[in-house]
Structure 1
Amino acid sequence: MGIRRANIEDADGIAKAHVDSWKTTYKGIIPDDFLNGLSYEDRTELWKQNIIREDNYVIIVENVQGKIVGFADAWKRETNIEENTCDLTSIYLLEEYQGIGIGRALMKELFIHFKKMGYSKIFVDVLEDNKTKYSYEYYGAKFIKNVQIKIGGKVLDESKYEWHSVDDVLAKL
């Protein structure tokens, strides 16, 4: 397994990991018709745009065959108006690569980036029914509030969390 910064040629592989991981991670949470409607082509275009954004830090993890099996990214959301902060915007892995420490490694790479950038606080949004929130809590994320969002016509609760110390998270990772 290897983690590296994404480049534009990775957009297709990221898109496949994105769609496939959403279909397993959010099964029973997000409506099936929405998940079944996700397309590799649309997500490839999205990831091309995400990768070329100067303010977006995108990393991938490849298996030994060079296939992208997961990714993570971080950038400051438009709704984040606090100075010297950033958002952990995604960490996704194909189901067969979950639970073996790869997500933790991706998170560590993001927090190393946050430290290099000098951020004082990091935010993350996670669907209330997504078990990943427990990992974030384990690494010290503090719950702020729930908001309601709509995906695929279904109203879902999304939990907002924050970390107050990049160094504390890195010490635990």
Structure 2
Amino acid sequence: MEFRYRKACLADAGGIAVVHVESWQSTYRGIVSDRYLDSLSVEEKKEKWEGILSEDHHTLVCTTKDGLVVGFASVGRERSGEYEGELYAIYLLREYQGRGIGRELFSRSISSLKALGFQDMFIWVLRENSSKTFYYSYQTEMVKEEPIIIGDEEHVEEGLLLTF
């Protein structure tokens, strides 16, 4: 199957929202409460992404040749100011995982941050997320851990740093 990668546009908000919600529901089922996951709304995420995509952003999408959004990644300035760049989100529909799309989105995200003059990328990942090995394959270093509340449950996020 042929995939296309490009900067996201406002018209992609709905597709990104679907990927965001469905990937959370498949990735975090058994980690985050079902009640929380079942409460996620594509419409609410679409509104959030319309706001993001209406401003200056660095969000990439991967689409099928027919234009279906199957994955996305979003990066920018690290929010705490402690580091330079940050991977805000990277998600793929489950049925498109294992095809190199995540690696391509991640590589292009690094290139976006380098083009902004950044020399590192900070990444938050849930400790219980088995997919975190993806990030460790890039020689990231765990630099912090912090509790996070998702729904009404406490989890631990690992803060990883990738220096380029």
**Amino acid in the other structure paired with 1:45:** E
Q: TM-score normalised to the size of structure 1?
A: 0.90
Q: How big is the shift at 1:23?
A: 0.5
Q: How big is the shift at 1:132?
A: 2.6
List per-residue Cα deviations over 1:13-50 (Å, max 9, x = no partner): 10011111110011011111111011111000010111
**Amino acid in the other structure paired with 1:53:** E
User: 1:96 aligns to what?
Assistant: 95
Cα distance in 1 for partners of 2:151, 2:78 equals 22
Q: TM-score normalised to the size of structure 2?
A: 0.94
Cα distance in 2 for partners of 1:140, 1:108 equals 14
Structure 2 unaligned segments of length 5 or more: list them: none
Moved over 3 A (4+): none
Cα distance in 2 for partners of 1:87, 1:131 equals 20
Percentage of identical aligned residues: 34
Cα distance in 1 for partners of 2:161, 2:73 equals 17
Structure 1 unaligned segments of length 5 or more: list them: 166-173
**Amino acid in the other structure paired with 2:41:** S
Q: How big is the shift at 1:131?
A: 2.1
Q: How big is the shift at 1:77?
A: 3.9
Q: What does residue range 131-142 of structure 1 map to in structure 2 within 5 Å?
A: 131-142=130-141
Q: What does residue range 79-158 of structure 1 map to in structure 2 within 5 Å?
A: 79-82=80-83, 85-158=84-157
Q: What does residue range 23-42 of structure 1 map to in structure 2 within 5 Å?
A: 23-42=25-44
Q: Secondary structure at the match of 1:150?
A: strand
Cα distance in 1 for partners of 2:11, 2:121 equals 28
Cα distance in 2 for partners of 1:66, 1:21 equals 18
Cα distance in 1 for partners of 2:80, 2:151 equals 22
List per-residue Cα deviations over 1:116-156 (Å, max 9, x = no partner): 11101210000011123211111111011211000010100
Cα distance in 1 for partners of 2:45, 2:128 equals 23
Cα distance in 2 for partners of 1:97, 1:20 equals 12
Q: Secondary structure at the match of 1:159?
A: strand
